[in-house]
Amino acid sequence: MSSNVKERRALKMREDLRVGAQFPDFELPDHTEETQKLSQLMRGFPTALIFSRGYFCPKDRRQHQNYVDQLQPELRVNYCKLVTVSVDDPMMTREVRQQLNATWPFLCDPDRELLHELDMVDYTDESHGEIYIPYTFLLDRDREIYKIYNGWWFVGRPTAEELRMDFRDLLSRRDDWFYEDPQ
């Protein structure tokens, strides 16, 4: 298989994962091995859903560290969420999350069921097996896909500031976005 065909094959995903569509409400164990449902983690707020290649990827670590440093301090007050998904097992996921000092949920797909269900398999990394293509989905409060970032190249991954602007756009859709004097 030529490298161009390999790259094109690696950058696909399920056809219905498009802007305007609703993201599936999947369940996976988190870093504590407790099963979590996406909609419950979101709790009706905009969410950045980050698909990670895994513990070994320096690009993923840099992306997550940027979010820890620049966005995480705001998460408690900005009413938005981050969720990371990888094929790492819970123990490795806990270690990665702890090393980053991240506070948001990291979900584990070590059996790669969701990976295949979403058809987001990166077939180009022969060293690490089947891993996620590093997509980041911006989801509105009802899991509607607002934006998709393709992180195949690091510069394709959203910066903390881009996520902040996306969150602002999503929150501005709310009826209570503007303060109105009740009198």
pLDDT of residue 125: 77
Q: pLDDT band at 33, cuts 50/70/90?
A: very high
For residue 155, pLDDT over 50 is answered with: yes
**Six token digits for residue 40:** 């419950």
| pTM listed for this prediction | 0.91
CA–CA dist 183, 181 (Å, integer): 5
For residue 118, pLDDT over 70 is answered with: yes
CA–CA dist 122, 144 (Å, integer): 24
Q: How many Cα atoms are found within 13 Å in the side-chain-facing hemisphere of 65?
A: 10
- The residue type found at 138 is L
DSSP 114: H
Q: pLDDT band at 11, cuts 50/70/90?
A: low
**Six token digits for residue 143:** 């899991």
CA–CA dist 51, 122 (Å, integer): 11
Q: Are 97 and 67 in contact (CB under 8 A)?
A: no
